[in-house]
Amino acid sequence: MKIFITGIAGFLGSHLAKFYINKGHEVVGNDTLVGGYRDNIPNKAVFHKIPCEDNSSLKKLFQGVDIVINTAAYAHEGLSIFSPHTITSNVLGGSVSVFSAAIASKVKRIVHCSSMARYGQIKPPFKESDIPKPVDPYGIAKLASENILINLCEVHDTEYNIAVPHNIIGPNQKYDDPFRNVASIMINLMLQNRSPIIYGDGKQKRSFSDVRDCISCIDVMATDKNVKSQIINIGPGDENYITINELFEIISNKLKFNKKPDFYPDRPNEVKYSSCSSDKAQKLLGYKTKFSVEESIDTIIKYIKERGTKKFLYNYDLEIINEKTPETWKNKLF
């Protein structure tokens, strides 16, 4: 098959590209390299440096494509409160551009990667049957993208699935972005002998999911004829469910880091507790948690050590600066 992956230089996109190349498929993808690294892209993949918003170019590139997997997004929940135009223009506008081009090009199936941010502050574990209540522009844009995809695919008879990965971690994740990817940020800082930053009391809980546990699930959503028109969580449920303070302890112990973290005030509208039900994924996708948080952290440490630590890049301008804007971003403290 010919598979097109948006965001192919990013974390999830690059892992999917490698997976499908190893299975003998033809892989093509696009990226702007703002949220990923060029060397993440497998050599056998055909790469186009264009944004998802470039609808006319995508229509040409999607000719003859069987499946489009949309992983591209400025995945910045917290930042979207302060740069809503930048984030939502990409997340919503870019996604709709992908959907439109894919349908116009007669792509057989679209797999859209959404986010646990769609659920917001509702009681965990999040279930697909829950009514989402996103609390930030990023989550709102992700949910809107889902609704538009469903609408367009139903009207134009195109197959679709919506994957909802939960806090995936692993190698290839961008670690010089000060706005996201807490585990990678911590490791990058500690390897520079700098104290990580924790917002609030650090008791926020996340159910971290190894990227290796996600790939096979997305593959089923892309290729299984019997799995379609579904929204499915991909995550470990109560397994790997830890606080940010506990995450710091795991990483600091592995790196023999002896400093304490620096605590800063809570970020506005940050979800306190986030975990998902994996019942549907287990039933339809054969999901199983194979890797612990500790094993995932080991792969990230190895990846960053091999590539070398990096200074943090502030690739996104703050659109709203006031007393609620985190000092860490206003003063570029990372």
Position 98 scores a pLDDT of: 98
Q: pLDDT value at position 285?
A: 98
The rounded distance, in Å, linking the Cα atoms of 236 and 124 is 13
Average pLDDT over residues 188-210: 97
What class does CATH assign to 182-205+238-276+291-330? Answer: alpha beta
Average model confidence (pLDDT) across the chain: 97
Distance of alpha carbon 94 from alpha carbon 171, whole angstroms: 25
Residue 7 confidence class, pLDDT cut points 50, 70, 90: very high
Asked if residue 238 has pLDDT above 90, the reply is no
Tokens representing 8? 């192919």
- The arithmetic mean of pLDDT across residues 224-250, rounded, is 95
Mean pLDDT in residue range 164-179 = 97
Q: What digits encode the pLDDT tens for the residues 244-275?
A: 999 999 999 999 999 999 999 999 999 999 99
As a dihedral over the C-alpha atoms of residue 173, residue 182, residue 323, residue 200, rounded to 10 degrees, the angle is 170
Q: Please report which confidence band the pLDDT of residue 122 belongs to, taking 50, 70 and 90 as the band edges.
A: very high
3-state helix, strand, coil in the chain (%, to 5): 40, 15, 45
User: 127-149 pLDDT, tens per residue?
Assistant: 999 999 999 999 999 999 999 99
Domain at 2-169+209-234, CATH from 3.20.20.220, 3.40.50.1820, 3.30.360.10, 3.40.50.720: 3.40.50.720
- pLDDT, tens only, 11-42: 999 999 999 999 999 999 999 999 999 999 99
Q: Is the pLDDT of residue 239 over 90?
A: no
- Confidence at residue 144, expressed as pLDDT on a 0 to 100 scale: 98
Query: How far apart (Å, rounded) are the C-alpha atoms in residues 179 and 184?
Result: 11
- Note the pLDDT of residue 237: 80
Domain ranges of the chain: 2-169+209-234, 182-205+238-276+291-330
